[in-house]
Structure 1
Amino acid sequence: MSVRQPRRAARIPLFPAGGGAIPAYDLYGEPQARASLDPVHLEALYTRSQRHDWSIRPHRHRNLHQVFWVQQGGGIVQGERRRFTFTAPFLLLLPAGEVHGFRYDQPSSGYVLTLTDAFLATCRGLMQESWQPRESIALNLRQPDPLRRALDAAFAQLERDFRWSGPGRGAAVAGHVLVVLSLLQRAAAAEASARQPRSPQAELVARFRRHLEDHFVEHAGLAEHCLKLGVTPSTLTRACRAVTGHSPLELVHERLLLEARRMLSYSSLSISQVAYALGFEPTYFSRFFTRREGISPLAFQRAARGEDVSSADAPARG
């Protein structure tokens, strides 16, 4: 089994920001929530992409996880943390809540598998794994590859039983989904192992990052974070510096900046509204953002929207 990382593209928004907040859908382009949305939904990649001229604007799904299996074609993904190009065969997991957009090459083909949060939790129980997909997983597979053949077969069988309306449909669909998730997990593990075996310190840093996903806007102190993780401040600090080269506080700031860039790029919120949403006073937020990004929040927001930044506040270095 062999995998390689997607190529990074320029770090600029793939799409200009539209009006309003970041759209949140059950299924893309369907703004009304589906009260009866099935725990599993499968469709061909072109079904929705072709309808939208192969361009899917940045959006997110509140309680839905998605697995993309691109068998032919390629394109560009605009994710929260990076923008990158990909070429088939390409496997992508997007956890619930993560902003994402696509621009596909024409034509591209494959599958989009959507799972409710509750269904995925059930799958994790059946797999007897503690795996919790809080971050995206993007893998370009090499050709030929046994994993690609296994994924092709798993999705083909899933599609067959997903369309079936007879007895045993639910159990068969769930079984095929488990196979897909197992293959994805194996591919991710192989890629991580190829890069570097995870040490106890790396495991602790991964736990800390997962913890931050739920608590980064609280601006808690180091001692409070460590209490919840069950480690001492010195242990967490040593681990963070050894694995990332940064202190725990710097990782908190990194996560706050990620969210700030996302909100400034993809929503119509004012600078003050973004500041309050992230737990800052507006004046301090502007200093915090400018000091670390080298550009004011207003200038960043206008640049992300493709607007003239000449009238924006000049960045104050510090």
Structure 2
Amino acid sequence: MITLPTEAVTLQRFAGAQDVFFEVFEGFTLLGHEAQARPHRHAYHEVLWIESGLGQHSVDGVRVELSPQTLSVITAGQTHEFHHVQEVNGALLCLEPELWRAAPILSHAPADWAIWRSIWQVLGSEYARSTQHLPHALRESLALALRLLEREQIPAAPDRAASRLARFQALLEHHFRTEHEVAFYAAQLHCTSDQLSREVRVSLGHSAKNAIQQRLMLEAQRLLRLSSLPVGQVAERLGYRDVFSFSRAFRSGVGVSPQGFRRPPSVGTS
């Protein structure tokens, strides 16, 4: 019987390819795997197939059911923890972020589960036979799995506003710790701040400024939950000029103070 790794996995390095890890698990429970029941995060993407069994997991504080014949994508850096997992069977694929630009999926039931079962069975077979070179069959299976995963993630309409939104989100992910003003992103995208805010509001339901604040608050919650950094250092890492400005923004965005939100740290980034 193969079980889920207790904390981090070691991704296998293949010559001329990014690192990959794959494992089939049977009868997984949290007994003996307490690290999975505490908030943790990894530096790689995880694709989790659930064939059967019951349980729950939380991704960045959002709790969802782990239902049979569903898949989840936990992207690098997201906070993850399991709850009440009972006799879960399935498979786990871990990938370096450079291999695939993943988008999170909390829990999704694909229309044709038989295809996914076949894919992870082939992945398991080919991965077990692999050594230092990524064999053609494994490479093709990975490529097929990633193409199907991208189809499961509904793409935005391919118009100019959608393209600018995608570029804004990519810029935000790269610069949110140091650039808190809409004007910076608008300049990078060759539009006005008002134009960017209108397009973001139409697509996301809130302004570009709110998008920046939400990304900052998400990272703040991750740092407060997963590290023992003092609040002042969290504020500094996120580009706030002082702890008071950070605390005010955190209370406004999250509804409690940073100290009130924090609980004892557990597993850090691996």
* TM-score, length of structure 1 as denominator length: 0.70
The answer for the alignment partner of 1:183 in structure 2 is 148
The answer for the alignment partner of 2:268 in structure 1 is none
The answer for the alignment partner of 2:94 in structure 1 is 114
Q: For each residue in 1:108-167, what CA deviation from the matched residue of structure 2 results, as whole angstroms up to 9, or x when unmatched?
A: 10000112234x15xxxxxxxxxx22x31234316xx4x211111111111112222589
Are 1:81 and 1:258, in contact at CA under 8 Å, matched by a contact in 2?
A: no
- The AA in structure 1 aligned to 2:71 is L
| Matching of residue 222 in structure 1 with residue 182 in structure 2 | yes
Structure 2, unaligned stretches of length 5 or more?
A: 266-270
Are 1:54 and 1:105, in contact at CA under 8 Å, matched by a contact in 2?
A: no
Cα distance in structure 2, aligned partners of 1:150 and 1:234: 45
The answer for the alignment partner of 2:59 in structure 1 is 79
Question: Within 5 A, what are the aligned runs for 1:232-243?
Answer: 232-243=192-203
Are 1:73 and 1:104, in contact at CA under 8 Å, matched by a contact in 2?
A: no
CA separation of 1:232 and 1:47: change in aligned 2, threshold 3 A: farther
SS of corresponding position for 1:230 = coil
Q: For each residue in 1:83-118, what CA deviation from the matched residue of structure 2 results, as whole angstroms up to 9, or x when unmatched?
A: 222312111122222221223531110000112234
Q: 1:247 aligns with which of 198, 202, 207?
A: 207
CA separation of 1:167 and 1:298: change in aligned 2, threshold 3 A: closer
1:30, distance to aligned residue in structure 2 (A): 4.8
The answer for the alignment partner of 1:141 in structure 2 is 109
CA separation of 1:65 and 1:294: change in aligned 2, threshold 3 A: closer
Are 1:75 and 1:87, in contact at CA under 8 Å, matched by a contact in 2?
A: yes
- The AA in structure 2 aligned to 1:258 is L
Question: Within 5 A, what are the aligned runs for 1:151-300?
Answer: 151-164=116-129, 170-189=135-154, 200-280=160-240, 281-300=242-261
Cα distance in structure 2, aligned partners of 1:250 and 1:35: 36
Cα distance in structure 2, aligned partners of 1:55 and 1:81: 14
Are 1:90 and 1:138, in contact at CA under 8 Å, matched by a contact in 2?
A: no
Q: For each residue in 1:168-209, what CA deviation from the matched residue of structure 2 results, as whole angstroms up to 9, or x when unmatched?
A: 8621111111111122122223xx68xxx5764344333322
Structure 1, unaligned stretches of length 5 or more?
A: 1-26, 122-131, 307-318
* TM-score, length of structure 2 as denominator length: 0.81
CA separation of 1:198 and 1:89: change in aligned 2, threshold 3 A: farther
Cα distance in structure 1, aligned partners of 2:175 and 2:199: 19
- The AA in structure 1 aligned to 2:203 is V
Task: Figure out how many residues of one structure are paired with residues of the other and give that number.
Answer: 255
- The AA in structure 2 aligned to 1:160 is S
Are 1:70 and 1:88, in contact at CA under 8 Å, matched by a contact in 2?
A: yes
Are 2:53 and 2:89, in contact at CA under 8 Å, matched by a contact in 1?
A: yes
Are 2:21 and 2:95, in contact at CA under 8 Å, matched by a contact in 1?
A: yes
